[in-house]
Structure 1
């Protein structure tokens, strides 16, 4: 929530909270806060699952083991239903994507000034955005990672010639239609990582903006009237977005493993 004595105007407050802590300028700017919280949530995921694995028992499981087993089974079931190839990487990748993005999204439920206010006044950090998935650089880098795996497995499974034929001879299997096929397939191929990253960014950025608007336009003592209902609804959004990113990753990699020619 905004501090009771906040001196910023509403527009200044919104701009301030939408600014990343950066090093460099333009294309070469590095968003330190997004990288820090991405690494932090990733390490949290590894620590929780490692702890659950080390304390796992064949007897009566504890709450942490039950929770981790439920998540693993949920992801594994979706991989089995969607992925039609054979690759031991897919299930761990899907689990990592789902849990990591979910944890990054959950950072959007942290009150707006809970971390930026002490960071600015106690540590001298002028800007701090704590939601990595509301940064297009983070979401697009993850999407490009999935895209690289798509290209790699498409060439590995189908061969370079097979992958080229898939682009040139689909959907119309005639030499005259090769230019049209290439245009259609390349646009379709490039749209996958673009939509994957932008969908996650757009939803999370919009959710973050709503929280900031509530904090900027309502008095601090009444902000819970807007932030609590929105947070309850936003829980559904952050979970769905993690699930959608995971499922599309599985679908795209399954398509890369299909040898149709």
Structure 2
């Protein structure tokens, strides 16, 4: 349960009410080799809002640190999960594979988590969220590759949700990733379609939130006109802040 809470905090899925960002050391046991280890996890934080890609800003770790086995890099997503002998045999072979060793050497923890989730047969939506979180820690060199994989995952999610209000969030994320990748024509088409959609942003959205979402679409179209791939958000006055 503790690891699941930490993961929820890291992905920005849990409510945060503390006044500052804090961390704590937690004890884990690596399922691969049975070795105990200590890892620092997010304990609390305060979000002042989100960038267009969902990353929190403020005194908060977004994404938060993930517990990784020191000897092999395996991400302990659920510290309560127990594996039987056949599962452990498959898992150890996966962690020893050349692909996994390359991910440990070259990639970030959330990218590695997404690959683990794929191996375990997690839902496409879970993997899409992890790939998105991986873009927040990617850095300039990795970002195009991570964002392209995240975009594909979010496009599939948007297609599955077609006709449902949940699709609006996914379509916003698709457009954001298209813009950040410099695919301006595709991004423009995505946001123009949202702008003229009579159902956007959905029936269950409060009036203030609906107004903000419409401002985000307008801001994205402005960024596209400027051919900007910046990491951007709106400030408290509704103006674009970009980096």
TM-score bin, normalised by smaller chain? under 0.3
TM-score normalised by the chain length of structure 1: 0.25
1 or 2, which has the higher helix percentage?
1
TM-score normalised by the chain length of structure 2: 0.26
For the pair shown, which has the larger CA radius of gyration, 1 or 2? Answer: 1
